[in-house]
C-alpha cells in the first residue's frame, strides 16, 4: 500500500483578500426598484395590488346581495377589486417614480 502524501504547504501571501462590497443593502433595494429588475418590482407591486383588491372585492360583492350565483359574485368581486387594486398599484408606482426623480 502506498502511504498518503502530505499536502503541500499553503503560501498565504498568494491568497488575496475578498473584495469589499461595493454596494450597501440600500443600494441593492434601490437597484431592485429602479435598476435592471425594475419590471420584476412593477409586477410584484401589481400582483400585490391585485391580491389586496380581490381580498377586499369579494367580501364587498357579497354585502351587496347581488342576484347572482356564488361563482358570479366571486367573479364580480375579483374583477372589480382586482382591477381597482392594479389601478391603485399603478398609481402608486407612477407617483413614487415621479418623486424619486
Identify the residue whose cell numbers are 361563482: 71
- Rounded Cα distance between 42 and 20, Å, is 31
Q: Tens of pLDDT along 2-46?
A: 777 777 767 666 666 666 766 666 666 666 666 666 777 788 888
Q: Torsion angle, CA of 61/67/72/75, rounded to 10 degrees? A: -20
pLDDT of residue 13: 67
Average pLDDT over residues 78-90: 89
Answer yes or no: is pLDDT of 101 > 80. no
The pLDDT mean for the chain works out to 79
pLDDT of residue 15: 64
Amino acid at each position: 500500500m502506498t502511504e498518503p502524501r502530505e499536502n503541500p504547504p499553503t503560501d498565504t501571501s498568494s491568497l488575496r483578500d475578498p473584495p469589499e462590497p461595493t454596494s450597501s443593502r440600500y443600494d441593492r433595494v434601490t437597484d431592485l426598484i429602479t435598476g435592471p429588475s425594475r419590471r420584476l418590482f412593477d409586477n410584484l407591486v401589481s400582483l400585490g395590488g391585485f391580491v389586496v383588491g380581490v381580498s377586499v372585492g369579494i367580501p364587498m360583492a357579497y354585502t351587496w346581495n347581488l342576484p347572482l350565483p356564488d361563482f358570479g359574485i366571486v367573479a364580480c368581486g375579483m374583477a372589480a377589486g382586482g382591477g381597482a387594486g392594479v389601478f391603485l398599484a399603478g398609481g402608486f408606482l407612477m407617483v413614487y417614480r415621479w418623486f424619486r426623480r
